[in-house]
Structure formats: C-alpha cells, structure tokens
Amino acid sequence: MKNELIEQIKELIKINKNETIDINPNYLEYFQIEELEDIIKQLNDRKESISSITSSYLDEIYEKTKKDEI
C-alpha cells in the first residue's frame, strides 16, 4: 500500500512524462499511510489550482487577441 502511494506521489511531482523522480526511501519510512494520502491530496489540489489559473490566463490572452483582430 505504501509503495503504491509513493508511486502516485512520484507521478504527481513529475513535470514531464519522461522525467524520473527518485525519493529517498529512508525519508518515506517516517510517513504513515494517512500522511502519504494527505500529500497526494495536496499535490492534486495544487495541480488543479495551477491548471485553473493557467486556463484562465490563456482564456484572457485569447480574448485579447480576438479584440485586436477586429
């Protein structure tokens, strides 16, 4: 169970798909399953937040370019 959670965390940390993430296993031994699940939740929340901000920003830029074309 812990290893699966750690793999999820590694995937969430990646910036691009080809990137390899290494996490010191000794460091992870200090975390309980509930803490690892909380880390996953926080990473997902950040990812969604960044995605939302990026989407809004791109929409704003698109709208500005449409105005400039008219």
pLDDT at 47: 84
How far apart (Å, rounded) are the C-alpha atoms in residues 39 and 11? Answer: 12
pLDDT in tens, the chain (70 residues): 888 998 899 888 888 888 888 888 777 778 899 999 999 999 999 888 887 778 777 888 888 887 665 4
Q: What proportions of the chain, in percent to the nearest 5, are helix, strand and coil? A: 75, 0, 25
Q: Please say whether the beta carbons of 35 and 1 come within 8 A.
A: no
The predicted pLDDT at position 68 comes to 61
Question: How confident is the model at residue 53, as a pLDDT?
Answer: 78
Q: Which pLDDT score is estimated for 52?
A: 75
**Around 32, how many Cα atoms within 13 Å sit in the side-chain half-sphere?**
2
Half-sphere exposure of 40 (CA within 13 A, CB side): 17
Q: pTM here?
A: 0.66
